[in-house]
Amino acid sequence: MPYETLENLPERVRSVLPHHAQEIYRAAFNSAYDEYRDHGDRKLGGSREETAHRVAWAAVKEVYEKDEQTGNWRARKD
């Protein structure tokens, strides 16, 4: 299901990502959820929701990276 607000995101997403990263996640998830409504459009298979979550995490990783020492997500410097 698309997420109407950041508060509707899964707890795992809300608890680890900064606010801006959550906004990216939500926008990417909602867009992918809409785009991959037909099973044939999902190249990796899986459910529509699984695909949307993969797309959302990929979008976050374009802008943010996880600090392996602290476990915190921070804006990429490259």
At residue 73, the pLDDT reads 96
Specify the pLDDT at position 38. 73
pLDDT 10s digits, 34-76: 988 876 655 666 788 999 999 999 999 999 999 999 999 999 9
pLDDT for 20-34, tens place per residue?
Answer: 999 999 999 999 999
Say which amino acid occupies 52: A
What confidence score (pLDDT) does residue 44 get?
60
pTM: 0.88
Q: Where are the domains of the chain?
A: 11-75
Return the SS3 of 29: helix
Closest CA to 27 of 9, 48, 41: 9
The CATH class that applies to domain 11-75 reads mainly alpha
- Would you state the pLDDT for residue 41? 56
CA angle at residue 23 from 10 to 2, to 5 degrees?
A: 55
